Structure 1
């Protein structure tokens, strides 16, 4: 898909988008006291979770499809422009420290590349060709998933990414904030979080951005739960890359096992710092190599490894 070249046509297209709608009742918001504006914004934000809730079946179906492919070695790839792209990059960047994923396992693509994270890259969002080139650089496989993110649901970069991926047999998901969007039509799974017009006309970094962040949280987090990256609500695959995370690792082992500090230190040393392995060592009274082998055969699922250890 290419962008609408005629400015008049583009204006008409934007006027038909829910996310671009003008709210005359807010036309004098700049004359209100600061606290009143804050109350208005807070009230607007409070409507977003309900909009997300209406799409939970679509979100769950997308998660199950993503997890099935990632279990086969596939990647989760986000693609978007502007705020939508930045949110995808943010979610991808948080997966390695939270779930110990490889850096290439969850990827965020933003139109215009890394420069676009901090500044506008003119014309990047209007290029479907750029999206195709960015995906080709990743050497897509049928086990991958591409999530196109666009508040309007019409951004050529996001649609181009989804169309290109789908043509190569890749699972595709479209995340937008307008009903019956072109992005949904292009994807296998459409998730349309219709949050309504923004407080500031067309500023989709507000409610639409919040809605997209909530959905991306779900897509990555629940997928990782399905892949065995958690034990209950404990992040047992957390990567202890700094003092805070090392302290959190010890606390997670303590919560999962009830062991004392000395036993936890011994288990983590035996496990090479791997939280999940340390928990298995303590709960099943195993040595490090045995626990590591059981987890490997259980595809990293701690509960399955525990069942195998206990016979």
Structure 2
């Protein structure tokens, strides 16, 4: 099936190397302003995914991200922030990048062209029908991602994708396709720019909405965050001050006694 690869179409701006610094930056910012509006258009698809995810999470299911390059790194980033922010074990949201963890910092040549490796990587985590797999691919053609999604779907695992090319092959390989059309990049083909930013926004929406739905947020507070440094202990203490109406010293004692904001709020003052 023929489709237009929007991420490879020429930039709306010419002669970038002749621009002064302010013009470069203003032009980039003008393009960035379009991203949130493009993401807004895919909210129905994101909503469908979050509802399906929360249903499976309540039964012990997990969320897996797979991707290559920038897309893979963004999936790993989102997954890595779940334990400290929401107190879930690392194995509940897992980010896998083509080429393994080495590829987070250094490109691993040809890793994204292997159609079999993603499924091998997923099988190492014992992925099953309780889980959900989200493939991230700006181009929509990454063999590593498409191969993994096709195998997962064949095993009756719910699949979704985040891409920046509507109608691309990855959208045909999933149950839920999230295709964010941000238009051509400021620097032609550089999908770490608008495409990557849009992927980060969608990932924020997916994981944050999921955590809210499964009870990891109270009001507008991160009540299950890990208390791994002084800043977070202070934040948690202030949440308890606000929630229980106690002074700061008592709130800090409650936090340290009960181990989390949620537990302290539920226990209340003595």
Q: Same fold (TM over 0.5)?
A: yes
Root mean square deviation of aligned Cα = 1.4
Q: Which residue of 2 aligns with 1:90?
A: 77
Does the residue aligned with 1:104 lie in a helix, a strand or coil? helix
Are positions 1:69 and 2:68 aligned together?
no
Are positions 1:214 and 2:201 aligned together?
yes
Q: Give the deviation of 1:160 after TM superposition.
A: 1.3
Question: C-alpha distance in 2, partners of 1:258/1:30?
Answer: 58
Question: C-alpha distance in 1, partners of 2:244/2:179?
Answer: 41
Question: Out of 150, 167, 182, which is 2:154 matched to?
Answer: 167
Instruction: State the 4+ residue runs in structure 1 displaced beyond 2 angstroms.
Output: 255-258, 265-270
Q: Give the deviation of 1:254 after TM superposition.
A: 1.8
Are positions 1:276 and 2:262 aligned together?
yes
Deviations 1:252-287 (A, max 9, x none): 22222222123313422431x2210101111xx6x7
Question: Out of 49, 58, 72, which is 2:36 matched to?
Answer: 49
Question: C-alpha distance in 2, partners of 1:149/1:40?
Answer: 27
Question: Out of 213, 235, 248, which is 1:261 matched to?
Answer: 248
Are positions 1:21 and 2:46 aligned together?
no
Deviations 1:219-262 (A, max 9, x none): 10000000000001100011101111111111122222222123
Are positions 1:138 and 2:112 aligned together?
no
Are positions 1:249 and 2:267 aligned together?
no
Please report the TM-score for the alignment, with normalisation by the length of structure 2: 0.96
Q: Give the deviation of 1:165 after TM superposition.
A: 1.4
Question: C-alpha distance in 1, partners of 2:244/2:48?
Answer: 33
Structure 1, gaps ≥5 residues long: 1-12, 288-311
Question: C-alpha distance in 2, partners of 1:156/1:212?
Answer: 19
Q: Which residue of 2 aligns with 1:186?
A: 173
Question: C-alpha distance in 1, partners of 2:43/2:242?
Answer: 30
Are positions 1:156 and 2:134 aligned together?
no
Corresponding residue pairs, total: 269
Does the residue aligned with 1:200 lie in a helix, a strand or coil? coil
Question: C-alpha distance in 2, partners of 1:266/1:122?
Answer: 52
Deviations 1:42-70 (A, max 9, x none): 00000000000011111111111111111
Are positions 1:38 and 2:25 aligned together?
yes
Structure exhibiting the larger radius of gyration computed from Cα positions? 1
Query: Do the aligned residues in 1 keep the contact of 2:5 with 2:168 (CA within 8 Å)?
Result: no
Question: C-alpha distance in 1, partners of 2:141/2:256?
Answer: 52
Q: Give the deviation of 1:30 after TM superposition.
A: 1.1
Query: Do the aligned residues in 1 keep the contact of 2:236 with 2:255 (CA within 8 Å)?
Result: no
Are positions 1:116 and 2:103 aligned together?
yes
Question: C-alpha distance in 1, partners of 2:223/2:39?
Answer: 28
Deviates more, 1:178-187 or 1:88-97: 178-187
Deviations 1:92-141 (A, max 9, x none): 00000000010111100000001101111111111111111101111112
Higher relative CO (Cα under 8 Å, sequence separation at least 6) belongs to 2
Question: C-alpha distance in 2, partners of 1:143/1:94?
Answer: 22
Please report the TM-score for the alignment, with normalisation by the length of structure 1: 0.84
